Structure 1
Amino acid sequence: MVAVVRVLLVDDQDAFLRAMTFVVQETPGFEVVGEASSGEESLVVAAELLPDLVLMDVNLPGIDGLEATRRLRGRDAPPVVLLLSTYDEDAGDHFVAESGAAAYVTKSAFGPDRLEEVWFTAVR
């Protein structure tokens, strides 16, 4: 049996949470285990659920996605974090360097293929 990648979704917009849920459900081997709508909530939920992968919006109320990612990545056995936002791909290198995330993908480019690509690149 192949292990399922446990995914935590973090976004403050319900429409995008639904879109991320759809992408994860359409990607074989990935499963949504929880959702959070703020940076602070993501830290609490991640500590409870211990996801393998966190899909993290950059712009969140309270602490932003970059700070939440830094805190998650500083934990023992941290999850892989994929940052998502509407900023251009060019902003991604800065976001990744600043936060320790595995990658950045624009929300418009996010789909099953990008999800798999980021996961398999990060766990190699």
Structure 2
Amino acid sequence: MADVRVVVVDDQETFRRAAGALVRATEGFVLVGDAVDGEDSLATVFRHQPDLVLMDVNLPGIDGLEATRRIRALDNAPIVVLLSTYELGELGADPLDCGAHAYVPKAEFDSARLRQVWSDAAG
């Protein structure tokens, strides 16, 4: 089975690097690109054709929810998992309405959770 191709989208360089390192350290996953905002995420997804996008909710410009809507509307759209420092209940309306497959608080994001959300979504 081929590795899961992943793009990380986050405006905070520290988290982008940490998430990228976690992806690279998780067997069966490969980091193919990253993006710093919603607009950049669209171009990066188009360029790299990932299987999975790890999308921060709060981004400058097009936020992560709108970027997810646009990505999910593409042909052969990747699975999108939303990440945020907020708990799900703190975000107001259901963030999964944008077409994301899962929501994971950043504090709970690790290799096991990465494998779990991929397994659940790709199922």
Give the Cα–Cα distance (whole angstroms) in 2 for the partners of residues 90 and 120 of structure 1. Answer: 24
| Secondary structure of 1:31 counterpart | strand
Equivalent residue, structure 2, for 1:24: 23
The within-5 A match list for 1:31-70 is 31-70=30-69
The within-5 A match list for 1:1-124 is 2-91=1-90, 94-97=94-97, 99-124=98-123
Q: Deviations over 1:4-25 (max 9, x none)?
A: 1000010000100111012102
Bigger mean CA deviation after superposition, 80-89 or 64-73: 80-89
AA paired with 2:79? Answer: V
Give the Cα–Cα distance (whole angstroms) in 2 for the partners of residues 23 and 111 of structure 1. Answer: 7
AA paired with 2:47? Answer: E
Q: Deviations over 1:57-93 (max 9, x none)?
A: 0000110000000000011110000100011133578
Tell me the number of residue pairs that the alignment of Structure 1 and Structure 2 aligns: 122
Give the Cα–Cα distance (whole angstroms) in 1 for the partners of residues 60 and 2 of structure 2. Answer: 33
Cα shift at 1:54: 0.3
Cα shift at 1:45: 1.0
**Residue segments in structure 2 that go unaligned for 5+ positions in a row:** none
**Residue segments in structure 1 that go unaligned for 5+ positions in a row:** none
| Secondary structure of 2:94 counterpart | helix
TM-score, normalised relative to structure 1: 0.94
Which consecutive segments of 4 or more residues in structure 1 shift more than 6 A? none
Task: Give aligned-pair identity as a percent.
Answer: 52
TM-score, normalised relative to structure 2: 0.95
